[in-house]
Amino acid sequence: MSRPETGLRAASADPAPPASADAASRADPNDEAADERTPLPEPERASFQLDSRELHIFRWRRPGAPRVLLIHGIGMGHSVYDRFLAEIHTECEAIAVDLPGFADCPEPADPLSMPDTADLVAAALHEQHAGPLVAVGHSMGAQIVAELAARHPDLMERVVLIAPSVNPAERSLLMQGARMIQDLAEGEPLSVLTRATKTYLQAGPIWFMRKLRQMLDHRLESCLPRVAQPSLVIRGTRDRVCPRGWAVRITGLLPRGEMLQIRDRGHEALISSGQPVAHHVLDWMGIARER
């Protein structure tokens, strides 16, 4: 199956803005009926430790199916993908991680940089014999996925960068914190606000700020030209953290980049109410869904 036309392939490191599709949402972001779908089966669970860093791995096996890796953003955990997982687990083998210091993973003595976090994830994937796969990252997770693709191309077939950070025009603790608060405050569904509050509190403000500094220090724009795999950049039209101009620039820096915008989604709702994103990712992968 040929994949849908979602954008123009980038031609240079600093191109004219590529075209992008502007996709209508396939579900109302306030639709709580999505919570009534059949619950996910229990995943296989594993821990991986390297030096003092530990991450948790959750795997929904489906032999012979394409593998999809999910990496969460700052302050979150793999559970933020539960609606996304509910849409893809019948079509794909899904693997999700909790990064060190988030969700139930122990907080290490020092936060890892984005490249070092990617190396840690790669080591865990090799131990799990989990490659090659399609890697999906949200926000900070998109930074890690880009480093994974550039540093460990043997593990990556395709790359999906959802609402990638950090917009260099607002690369400061103050601006990123303000944008995250603004995004949550501007009409996000109650379910998204509840989830975000819970997971941010679980991470704790001190660890959150330490990891945020690593996130801000990373230059995604320097990594992207080394990502050789087919890549899809997705943002919501209401996303304050990942504005359109930054998403266009990211897409242009990717040698094989495409861009998709999803209407009426902000930064967190884009993945927390993740049904539309999951559908578009499956379509882009060329996977026919059960209707």
CA distances 30 to 80, 126, 141, 144, Å, are 16, 39, 25, 29
Give residue-wise pLDDT tens across range 17-73: 444 566 654 444 444 444 455 578 899 999 999 988 999 999 999 999 999 999 998
Q: Quote the pLDDT of residue 49.
A: 93
Higher-pLDDT residue of 152 and 236 is: 152
Give residue-wise pLDDT tens across range 174-216: 676 666 666 766 655 555 555 555 555 555 566 666 666 777 8
Q: Quote the pLDDT of residue 227.
A: 98
Q: Quote the pLDDT of residue 256.
A: 97
Assigned token pair, 10: 């980038």
CATH topology of domain 21-30+40-285: Rossmann fold (3.40.50)
Specify the 3-state DSSP secondary structure of 43.
coil
Lowest mean pLDDT among 67-81, 221-235, 239-253, 266-280: 266-280
Q: Strands of the chain (E only): list them.
A: 21-23, 44-50, 53-60, 67-71, 93-98, 133-138, 156-162, 231-236, 257-262
Average pLDDT score over the chain? 80
Assigned token pair, 105: 């993973």
Q: Quote the pLDDT of residue 37.
A: 54
Sequence ranges of the domains in the chain:
21-30+40-285
Buried b (16+ CB within 10 A) or exposed e, 106-142: ebeeebbebbebbbbbbbbbeeeebbbbbbbbbbbbb
Q: Quote the pLDDT of residue 200.
A: 56
* Among 77, 94, 76, CA closest to 40: 94
